[in-house]
Amino acid sequence: MKKQIIFVESKPTIYTYKIARTLKLTGKYETVLVCFSEVDRTFFGKAFDKFHILEWSHKPNFKNFIDFFRKVFGKKGREFFNELKKMRPYVFQVTGPDLFTTIAMFSLKKSPIIYFPYDIWHADKRNYLFTKNPGVKGCFQKFFGRICFKIADGILHKGQPKELELLNCKPNILDLSFLPGCLDEWICPIKKKKQSKEIHLGHAGAPWPSEDGAHSFSEVIKNLTLQKLHFHVFGDFANKEEKKAFFQKIKDKKYLHMHKKEKPDELNKKLSQYDYGTVLGFYDDSLDLMAEKLMAAKFFNFVETGLPIIIPKQAKFMADIVEDNEIGFSVDYQDLKNLKEIIMKQDYGKMRENMKKAQEKFKLSKRIKELEKFYEEIARSKEI
């Protein structure tokens, strides 16, 4: 009989999709998604056998505030949470921090709960009351994250193994740092390719929103377009004001390529056309400690596509993976002004060749046993 694993998410993440898909393919598990937003069931149906959906809007306004209470205390909400209480899976894996998933966790106390903090907000030492972005949202996420850490029986996280040491309230429970890795079926074959004079850089997502303590999208892109480096993004700006301000700053727009948002299983095919994958989030010195332990989910998009990776040196955990496996190079923020010159000095063929080894090394099908063992430990500890 298959063991049931229930994944609880506010909005489904690709990290969870990859895990659920890989577990499902072992033939040993039934995977279920409990979610608070509607999903593309054709796509996510490849990873999940069943769905339990209760739609809630995250947009803070009066209408949604009323809708929140109506759904929590109304018939539909009661039925949804009663259904959760009845579930007795092998383990629950809950993604947060988030109001909706935190509420759900209180319904799951009788089963083993693994908390997956997609972002560990209260490792960030900024006082969010004095920041424009993330602002008050950051305060709420810190609060919900602290609750989730206390309720959980185990912690799964995607950053450096020691990143939980940044917490003020490090939980005294089992934890596992588990990299997102490469989904076997998304890996692109690597063909011999020379670095061209017209260099194309890929970013696996939309323009990142401006945030206090971080260099803005416009700052980074201005440095690149002045060197005639092509930069490709997939998705639009977070808001119209930010988009307008950006295009007022960037004079030469022909080197910025805005593409529509792609489905995750199609994105890699688009990225594979370019020369490099980039993770170009640079932070102020005050956030160095947090930045060095981060793992961006998009990082493994580039490994899957075989693109050499350009990474900030301050993102030490990711930079170490890049340099140890010789699949790219790292830069400081001031290096962006000379990035084209740095790129032309790289042994591009060698980095592409090393990507073949990295793809094999980070295959989820090879690494999933580590996660299965962790699930087993948590399930056993709950029985005791």
Instruction: Give domain limits for the chain.
Output: 3-181+364-383, 185-361
pLDDT band at 92 (very low <50, low <70, confident <90, very high): very high
Residue 21: pLDDT above 90?
Answer: yes
pLDDT band at 209 (very low <50, low <70, confident <90, very high): confident
Coil, helix or strand for 169?
coil
User: Beta strands of 21-141 (E only): which ranges?
Assistant: 29-35, 50-53, 91-96, 113-117
What mean pLDDT comes out for the span 43-51? 96
Residue 9: pLDDT above 90?
Answer: yes
Distance CA 324, CA 328 (A): 10
One fold for both 3-181+364-383 and 185-361? yes
Classify residue 279 by its DSSP letter: -
pLDDT band at 65 (very low <50, low <70, confident <90, very high): low
Phi-psi region of 69 (alpha: psi -120 to 50; beta: other; left: phi over 0): alpha
CA 139 from centroid of its chain's CA atoms: 20
Q: Which pLDDT score, from 0 to 100, does residue 205 have?
A: 92
Sheet-wide strand order for 309-312 = 256-259, 230-234, 200-202, 276-278, 309-312, 328-331
**What angle, rounded to 10 degrees, do the helices at 14-26 and 364-383 form?**
90
pLDDT band at 52 (very low <50, low <70, confident <90, very high): very high
CATH topology of domain 3-181+364-383: Rossmann fold (3.40.50)
Phi-psi region of 350 (alpha: psi -120 to 50; beta: other; left: phi over 0): alpha
Lowest mean pLDDT among 61-65, 298-302, 343-347, 357-361: 61-65
Distance CA 191, CA 193 (A): 6
Greatest alpha-carbon pair distance for the chain in Å reads: 64
pLDDT band at 30 (very low <50, low <70, confident <90, very high): very high
What mean pLDDT comes out for the span 211-217? 81
Residue 93: pLDDT above 80?
Answer: yes
Q: What mean pLDDT, rounded, does the chain reach?
A: 87
Residue 137: pLDDT above 70?
Answer: no
Residue 144: pLDDT above 90?
Answer: no
Between vectors from CA 102 to CA 142 and to CA 381, what angle results, nearest 5°?
105
pLDDT band at 102 (very low <50, low <70, confident <90, very high): confident
Best mean pLDDT range from 137-141, 191-195, 329-333: 329-333
Q: Which pLDDT score, from 0 to 100, does residue 40 have?
A: 93
pLDDT band at 69 (very low <50, low <70, confident <90, very high): low
CATH topology of domain 185-361: Rossmann fold (3.40.50)
Coil, helix or strand for 60?
coil
Classify residue 31 by its DSSP letter: E
Lowest mean pLDDT among 66-80, 98-112, 274-288, 346-360: 66-80
Q: Which residue has the tokens 């505030």?
A: 65
